[in-house]
C-alpha cells in the first residue's frame, strides 16, 4: 500500500446526520450504535471519555472536543470508552446496556461477534484454551456449561486495519481510511480495499454496537449457516438508543425474545430479524408512526463448500418492520422462543431451537409468501409429523393469530369436521370396546396421507368435501354453511392448491380439544 | 429531454460493500445506467457528460400485459465463478484461479429512462444528442462490445427512443431523503471513498398518463468534488 496523504481535518464539532444521502444502512445502524453508546455515557458519567462532549437528537449526533487534543487522541478516547472487556474477557459494549450480571446474554453476543466481525484470530488475540461459563435459563434449575474463547483485546479498541490510528501519522488523520472485514463482515479487500473518509470509517466501527448477532442453528435448510447479523435501518436515533438498551434491561413487563443466551439461538436469519425487530419495537406498539427502525437487513454467515478458512456471508434478506400476519410469527415465537439445550458426552452444551415453526413462518413472511407455505415439508416424514403433535399449544396460538379470512374459514371448517370425526370414533370405541387413542392415531395418519397424496387442486378439493361429508354423515357443517361461497371460491381456485394443502395439514396438527370445548362437550382429546 | 425504453433479461448490480456474497441492489442504479448510456454512445471518459439528469420509471406489467407481483424485479440467486483478484484474496488468483460465490441476479428488467442534458457542463454535443444519433444512425458511432447493463455478460435486449408514454403501467423512482432504497449515483471503482449514494422510493401506485418527469423525479449525475 502506498503512503497515505495526511493532515485530514475532522470538523469540530463533528455532526453525523441520519439523513445524510451518502449513508447506507450500515452507516445508519452504526449511527444508532453510536447514539446508544453516548446514551450509556450519559447514564454512567464515569464511562464518558475525558475532554469530549457528545449529544444525541432524533436524527443527528454531535461530538465536540477540546481543541488542544490531537485528532488521533480524540479517536482513541472515544474507542476506549465504547469498546470494553469484562473481567471474564468477554466483549462488553456499553451501548447495548447489558447489566453486569447478565453473562448469559453477553456470552451469546461475544460468540456471535467472534464469528462475524472478529472472525480472524488477529482481530481478537486471546487465550488458546477455551473458558467455560455456566448459564442458567429462567425457570431452569440446572445450569448448563458453555465454552467460549476469551479475548485480550479486539480490533475495534484500536481501529485496527483502518489506518486511523497509524503511529506514523503523529496524531493526524489520513485523507482516507480503510474499511476492513472486522468493520463490515464479508467486506474482503480484493485488489483495492474498501475505503471511506475518516469520520465515516470511525462511525462504521459502531456498526457492531447497533447490530444484533444471533447464533444460527437451522433445521429446515442452509445447514452450514452459523451466525446471523441483523443490521437495523434506524429512523430515530434517540428512540433507537433507548429501545436497544431496554432489550437487556430489568424491570420491563414486556416479553422479550432476544434478552437471554437461548433467545439468541434461532433457526433462520429471518427469524432472528423479526425477533430483534419485535423486541426493538416492544415499547412502540401504540405509536405506529414513530418507530425507531423501518426494517432491517439479516445476513446469515457460515462455512461455504469452497472456502473452509472463513465464515462467509451466505444469505442476505431484507426484512420489513411489519407484515399482515406478523401475529402468527409472534405467537410461534412466544411458544417456541426458548431453545433447548443438548449436552454432549463430554459435558459440553449446545443449544438448538425448540421448533422449526418460527423459522418457517419468518422465512415465509420475509419472502412475501403465504405464512404457511412449505408447511408440508414439516409433515412429509412421519417422525417430523409426530413431533409437531407435541407442539399443539403453540400451533393453537398460531391458529388464533391468523388474520386472513380465507385461512380462518378453511381451518375452522377442517377443525369442525375433525371434531365430528373424532366424536364418531369415540362412539365406535365405546360401542366396540376399542382403544380410542389408537383409532384417532390411525385416522390422523390416513388423513395426512390423503392430503399429501393429492396432486391436483381438484383432487384435494374433492377429498376435502368428502372428508366434510363423511364427518357429518351427509349433513353440512355449520362453518361451511356460513361461508359457502368463500369456501367454494377458495378450494376450486387452482392457484390456491399449495396454500390449501398447507392449511389442511396445519389444521390437522393444530386442532386443540381446549378450543373444541367451546363447541361441544364430552369428546376426549386426541 | 428524450425518453428511452430499456429491456434487460437479467442483470446484477453488486452492492458497494458486498465482497463475499454478491448481493444486488433491488433496481438498476443511476450510476450504472449512466455508464450504459456512455457505452451506447461510445464515450470512454466518465465525466464527459457530468451534469446530465436522469429520471426512471419501472414497469408494473410483463410484456404480455400480465401484472407483476411487484414493480421490483424478482431476484434469483446462483453460484458463479468470480475473480479473486477483484473480490477475494488477490494473491491467490494466479495460483488457484477464480473462486465460487453466491451472486444475486435481477430478472426481467424493463424501465423507462428520461435523459435531460440542459445542465451538462461540458461542450456539445450533449448526451441527449449523442444517444439520438446512436439509435437513429448507429453506423455513425464508434463503440465496442455488446451493450450491457452492469456486468459484461448482462446484455441489454433493447434500447429504443419513445415519444410520449401513454401505455403500460409505470412506477416512478423518486429521490427522497428518507427513502427505503439507497442507490449509488457515482461509483468510485478504486477504493470506495468517492462513491456517492442517494436515497429513493419506488412509488407503489402506478402513475397517470401522460408520463412525464417532474422536478422531484430527476437525479443529477455529478462526480464528487
Does B204 lie at the interface with A, CB-CB under 8 angstroms? no
Residue of A143 and B204 predicted with greater confidence: B204
CA distance A324 to A371: 10
Q: Which of A244-248, A311-315, A335-339, A489-493 has the highest mean pLDDT?
A: A489-493
On whether ipTM exceeds 0.85, the answer is yes
Residues of chain B with Cβ-Cβ distance to A29 below 8 Å are none
pLDDT of A143: 77
Does B223 lie at the interface with A, CB-CB under 8 angstroms? no
Provide the chain A residues 168-207 that lie in CB contact (below 8 A) with chain B.
176, 179, 181, 184, 186-197
Q: Which band of pLDDT confidence, cut at 50, 70 and 90, is reported for residue A499? A: very high
Q: Which band of pLDDT confidence, cut at 50, 70 and 90, is reported for residue B74? A: very high
Chosen for mutation from B17, B66, B77 (greatest number of chain A CBs closer than 10 Å) is B17
Q: Which band of pLDDT confidence, cut at 50, 70 and 90, is reported for residue A31? A: very high
pLDDT of A212: 95
The set of cell numbers assigned to B25 is 441492489
pLDDT at A283 over 70: no
pLDDT at A3 over 60: no
Residue of A480 and B211 predicted with greater confidence: B211
pLDDT in tens, B111-170: 999 999 999 999 999 999 999 999 999 999 999 899 999 989 899 999 999 988 878 899
Q: Cα distance from A1 to chain B (closest Cα, Å)?
A: 12
Q: Which band of pLDDT confidence, cut at 50, 70 and 90, is reported for residue A525? A: very low
By Cβ distance, the residue of B20, B90, B198 closest to A313 is B20
The percent of residues above 90 in pLDDT, for chain B, comes to 65
- Asked if B23 and A316 come within 8 Å (Cβ–Cβ), the reply is yes
pLDDT in tens, A122-165: 999 999 898 988 887 666 667 788 889 999 999 999 999 999 99
Calculate mean pLDDT across residues A336-363. Answer: 83
Q: What is the β-pairing status of strands B2-11 and A212-216? A: unpaired
pLDDT of A518: 47
Provide the chain B residues 2-31 that lie in CB contact (below 8 A) with chain A.
16-21, 23, 26
Calculate mean pLDDT across residues A285-314. Answer: 78
pLDDT of A250: 64
pLDDT at B193 over 80: yes
Name the nearest CA neighbour of B53 among B198, B207, B209. B198
pLDDT in tens, A514-524: 544 444 444 44
pLDDT of A289: 44
- Asked if A189 and B20 come within 8 Å (Cβ–Cβ), the reply is no
pLDDT at A387 over 80: yes
pLDDT in tens, A390-443: 887 889 999 999 999 999 999 999 999 999 999 999 999 999 888 888 999 999
Q: Which band of pLDDT confidence, cut at 50, 70 and 90, is reported for residue A169? A: confident
Provide the chain A residues 305-344 that lie in CB contact (below 8 A) with chain B.
305-307, 312-316, 318
Mean pLDDT score of chain A: 87
What pTM value is reported for the model?
Answer: 0.90
CA distance B87 to B21: 10
pLDDT in tens, B151-161: 898 999 999 99
The set of cell numbers assigned to A42 is 450519559
pLDDT of A253: 62
Calculate mean pLDDT across residues A85-95. Answer: 95
- Asked if B182 and A25 come within 8 Å (Cβ–Cβ), the reply is yes
Residues of chain A with Cβ-Cβ distance to B24 below 8 Å are none
Calculate mean pLDDT across residues A155-177. Answer: 91
Name the nearest CA neighbour of A114 among A134, A88, A91. A91
Calculate mean pLDDT across residues B56-85. Answer: 89
- Asked if B193 and A22 come within 8 Å (Cβ–Cβ), the reply is no
Residue of A429 and A513 predicted with greater confidence: A429
pLDDT at A495 over 60: yes
Q: Cα distance from A318 to chain B (closest Cα, Å)?
A: 10
Residues of chain A with Cβ-Cβ distance to B100 below 8 Å are 304-306
Cβ-based contacts under 8 A for chains A and B = 93
Residue of A340 and B30 predicted with greater confidence: B30
Q: Which band of pLDDT confidence, cut at 50, 70 and 90, is reported for residue A81? A: very high
- Asked if A189 and B193 come within 8 Å (Cβ–Cβ), the reply is no
Chosen for mutation from A182, A191, A290, A495 (greatest number of chain B CBs closer than 10 Å) is A191
Calculate mean pLDDT across residues A32-53. Answer: 94
- Asked if B196 and A22 come within 8 Å (Cβ–Cβ), the reply is yes
- Asked if B19 and A189 come within 8 Å (Cβ–Cβ), the reply is yes
pLDDT in tens, A200-227: 999 999 999 999 999 998 876 555 788 9
- Asked if B17 and A24 come within 8 Å (Cβ–Cβ), the reply is yes
Q: Cα distance from B180 to chain A (closest Cα, Å)?
A: 8
pLDDT of A103: 86
Q: Are A162 and A201 in contact (CB under 8 A)?
A: yes
Nearest chain A residue to B101 by CA distance is A306
Other C-beta atoms closer than 10 Å to the C-beta of A513 total 15
By Cβ distance, the residue of B21, B87, B199 closest to A21 is B199
By Cβ distance, the residue of A24, A191, A294 closest to B90 is A191
CA distance B59 to B112: 8
By CB atoms closer than 10 A (0-12, 13-18, 19+), residue A227 is buried
Q: What is the β-pairing status of strands A212-216 and A265-266? A: parallel
pLDDT of A156: 96
Q: Are A94 and A82 in contact (CB under 8 A)?
A: yes
Name the nearest CA neighbour of A139 among A272, A278, A260. A260
Amino acid at each position: 500500500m502506498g503512503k497515505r496523504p495526511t493532515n485530514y481535518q475532522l470538523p469540530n464539532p463533528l455532526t453525523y446526520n441520519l439523513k445524510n444521502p451518502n449513508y447506507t444502512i450500515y452507516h445508519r445502524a452504526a449511527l444508532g450504535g453510536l447514539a446508544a453508546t453516548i446514551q450509556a455515557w450519559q447514564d454512567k458519567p464515569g464511562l464518558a471519555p475525558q475532554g469530549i462532549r457528545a449529544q444525541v437528537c432524533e436524527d443527528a449526533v454531535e461530538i465536540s472536543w477540546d481543541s488542544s487534543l490531537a485528532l488521533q487522541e480524540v479517536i482513541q478516547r472515544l474507542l476506549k470508552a465504547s469498546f470494553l472487556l469484562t473481567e471474564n474477557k468477554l466483549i462488553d459494549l456499553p451501548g447495548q446496556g447489558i447489566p453486569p450480571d447478565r453473562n448469559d446474554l453477553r456470552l451469546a453476543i461475544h460468540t456471535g461477534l467472534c464469528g462475524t466481525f472478529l472472525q480472524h484470530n488477529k482481530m481478537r488475540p486471546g487465550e488458546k484454551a477455551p473458558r467455560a461459563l455456566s448459564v442458567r435459563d429462567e425457570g431452569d434449575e440446572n445450569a448448563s456449561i458453555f465454552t467460549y474463547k476469551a479475548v485480550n483485546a479486539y480490533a475495534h479498541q484500536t481501529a485496527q486495519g483502518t489506518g486511523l490510528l497509524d503511529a506514523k501519522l503523529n496524531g493526524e488523520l489520513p485523507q482516507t481510511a480503510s474499511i476492513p472485514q472486522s468493520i463490515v463482515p464479508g467486506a474482503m479487500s480484493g485488489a483495492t480495499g474498501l475505503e471511506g473518509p475518516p469520520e465515516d470509517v470511525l462511525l462504521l466501527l459502531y456498526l457492531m454496537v447497533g447490530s444484533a448477532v444471533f447464533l444460527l442453528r437451522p433445521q429446515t435448510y442452509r445447514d452450514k449457516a452459523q451466525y446471523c447479523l441483523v443490521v437495523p435501518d434506524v429512523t430515530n436515533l434517540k428512540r433507537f438508543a433507548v429501545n436497544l438498551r431496554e432489550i437487556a434491561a430489568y424491570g420491563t413487563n414486556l416479553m422479550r425474545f432476544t434478552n437471554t443466551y437461548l433467545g439468541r439461538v434461532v433457526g433462520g436469519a429471518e427469524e432472528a430479524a423479526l425477533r430483534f425487530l419485535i423486541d426493538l419495537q416492544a415499547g412502540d406498539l401504540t405509536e405506529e408512526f414513530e418507530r425507531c427502525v423501518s426494517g432491517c437487513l439479516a445476513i446469515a454467515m457460515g462455512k461455504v463448500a469452497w472456502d473452509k478458512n472463513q465464515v462467509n456471508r451466505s444469505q442476505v434478506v431484507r426484512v420489513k418492520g411489519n407484515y399482515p400476519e406478523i401475529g402468527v410469527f409472534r405467537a410461534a415465537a412466544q411458544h417456541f422462543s426458548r431453545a433447548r439445550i443438548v449436552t454432549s458426552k463430554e459435558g459440553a452444551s449446545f443449544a438448538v431451537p425448540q421448533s422449526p415453526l418460527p423459522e418457517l413462518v419468518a422465512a415465509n413472511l420475509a419472502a412475501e409468501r403465504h405464512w404457511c407455505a412449505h408447511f408440508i415439508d414439516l409433515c412429509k416424514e412421519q417422525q417430523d409429523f409426530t413431533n409437531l403433535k407435541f407442539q399443539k399449544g403453540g400451533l393453537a396460538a398460531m391458529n388464533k393469530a391468523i388474520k386472513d379470512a380465507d385461512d380462518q374459514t378453511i381451518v375452522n371448517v377442517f377443525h369442525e369436521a375433525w371434531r365430528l370425526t373424532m366424536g364418531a370414533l369415540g362412539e365406535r370405541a365405546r360401542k366396540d370396546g376399542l382403544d380410542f387413542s389408537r383409532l384417532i392415531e390411525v385416522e390422523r395418519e390416513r388423513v395426512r396421507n390423503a392430503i399429501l397424496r393429492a396432486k391436483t387442486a381438484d383432487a384435494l378439493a374433492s377429498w376435502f368435501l368428502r372428508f366434510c361429508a363423511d364427518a357429518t354423515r351427509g349433513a353440512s357443517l355449520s362453518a361451511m354453511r356460513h361461508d359457502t361461497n368463500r369456501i367454494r371460491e377458495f378450494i376450486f381456485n387452482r392457484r390456491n392448491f399449495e396454500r390449501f394443502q398447507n392449511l389442511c395439514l396445519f389444521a390437522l396438527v393444530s386442532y386443540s380439544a381446549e378450543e373444541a370445548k367451546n363447541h361441544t362437550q364430552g369428546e376426549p382429546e386426541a | 429531454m428524450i425518453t428511452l425504453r430499456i429491456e434487460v433479461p437479467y442483470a446484477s448490480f453488486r452492492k458497494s460493500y458486498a465482497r463475499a456474497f454478491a448481493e444486488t441492489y433491488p433496481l438498476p442504479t443511476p450510476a450504472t445506467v449512466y455508464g450504459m448510456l456512455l457505452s451506447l454512445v461510445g464515450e470512454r471518459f466518465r465525466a464527459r457528460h457530468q451534469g446530465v439528469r436522469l429520471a426512471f420509471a419501472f414497469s408494473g406489467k410483463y410484456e404480455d400485459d400480465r401484472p407483476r407481483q411487484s414493480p421490483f424485479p424478482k431476484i434469483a440467486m446462483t453460484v458463479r465463478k468470480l475473480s479473486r483478484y477483484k473480490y477475494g484474496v488477490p494473491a491467490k488468483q494466479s495460483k488457484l484461479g477464480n473462486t465460487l460465490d453466491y451472486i444475486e441476479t435481477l430478472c426481467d428488467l424493463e424501465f423507462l429512462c428520461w435523459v435531460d442534458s440542459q445542465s451538462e457542463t461540458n461542450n456539445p454535443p450533449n448526451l441527449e444528442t449523442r444517444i439520438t444519433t446512436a439509435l437513429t444512425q448507429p453506423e455513425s458511432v464508434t463503440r465496442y462490445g455488446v451493450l450491457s447493463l452492469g456486468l459484461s455478460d448482462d446484455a441489454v435486449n433493447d434500447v429504443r427512443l419513445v415519444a410520449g408514454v401513454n401505455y403500460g403501467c409505470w412506477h416512478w423512482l423518486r429521490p427522497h431523503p428518507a427513502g427505503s432504497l439507497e442507490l449509488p449515483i457515482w461509483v468510485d471503482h478504486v477504493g470506495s471513498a468517492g462513491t456517492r449514494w442517494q436515497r429513493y422510493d419506488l412509488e407503489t401506485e402506478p402513475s397517470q398518463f401522460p408520463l412525464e418527469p417532474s422536478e422531484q423525479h430527476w437525479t443529477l449525475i455529478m462526480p464528487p468534488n
